[in-house]
């Protein structure tokens, strides 16, 4: 039913407390683009008080250069800071077309919970679900997902 990918060479970057106005994300990603940074799994959450958090994944091999850049950009756009979670893994479950999303998500949540792998963030489409989990439980989570989806 699925193909599961594992990436433990990623960093979960979160721009915290950004002004929730048009153009902020454009400014952030324009700055990253100038440095040819590849990002994935972009997520924005609106919070109370006209602020939002914007997060994405980037490769660990770019972290040293991205920390000062992200902090500078956050300050420039009026953000409240940036966090960098390096002890995470992205587990992607690629789904066959026609898979029921509620059933699929329930299976993912149950499999990860069975090994006490807490999902820090999840992004789901009709084609895939990407789960960011702590490295301490990531391998167990991968095995549980493989068993749940492929019967291994």
Instruction: Record the pTM.
Output: 0.89
Q: What is the pLDDT of residues 91-147, one digit of tens each?
A: 999 887 666 678 889 999 999 999 999 999 999 888 889 999 999 999 999 999 999
Torsions phi, psi for 120 (to 5 deg): -80, -35
3-state DSSP assignment of residue 137: helix
Q: What is the pLDDT of residues 36-52, one digit of tens each?
A: 999 999 999 887 788 99
- In Å, what is the CA distance from 25 to each residue of 101, 136, 141? 29, 31, 32
How many helices (H) and strands (E) would you count in the chain? 4, 8
- How would you classify the pairing of strands 39-46 and 51-59? antiparallel
Considering only residues 65 and 126, tell me which one the structure prediction assigns the higher pLDDT.
65
The Cα 63–Cα 93 span in angstroms is 25
* Burial group, residue 13, by CB count within 10 angstroms (0-12, 13-18, 19+): buried
């Amino acid at each position: 039913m699925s193909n599961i990918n594992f990436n433990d060479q990623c960093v979960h970057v979160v721009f915290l407390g950004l002004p929730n106005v048009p153009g902020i994300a454009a400014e952030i990603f324009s700055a990253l683009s100038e440095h040819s940074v590849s990002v994935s799994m972009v997520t924005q959450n609106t919070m109370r008080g006209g602020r939002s958090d914007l997060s994405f994944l980037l490769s660990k091999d770019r972290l040293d250069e991205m920390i000062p850049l992200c902090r500078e950009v956050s300050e420039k756009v009026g953000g409240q800071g940036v966090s960098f979670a390096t002890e995470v893994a992205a587990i992607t479950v690629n789904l066959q077309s026609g898979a029921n999303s509620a059933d699929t998500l329930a299976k993912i949540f149950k499999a990860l919970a069975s090994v006490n792998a807490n999902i820090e963030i999840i992004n789901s489409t009709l084609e895939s679900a990407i789960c960011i989990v702590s490295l301490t439980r990531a391998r167990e989570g991968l095995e549980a997902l493989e068993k749940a989806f492929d019967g291994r």
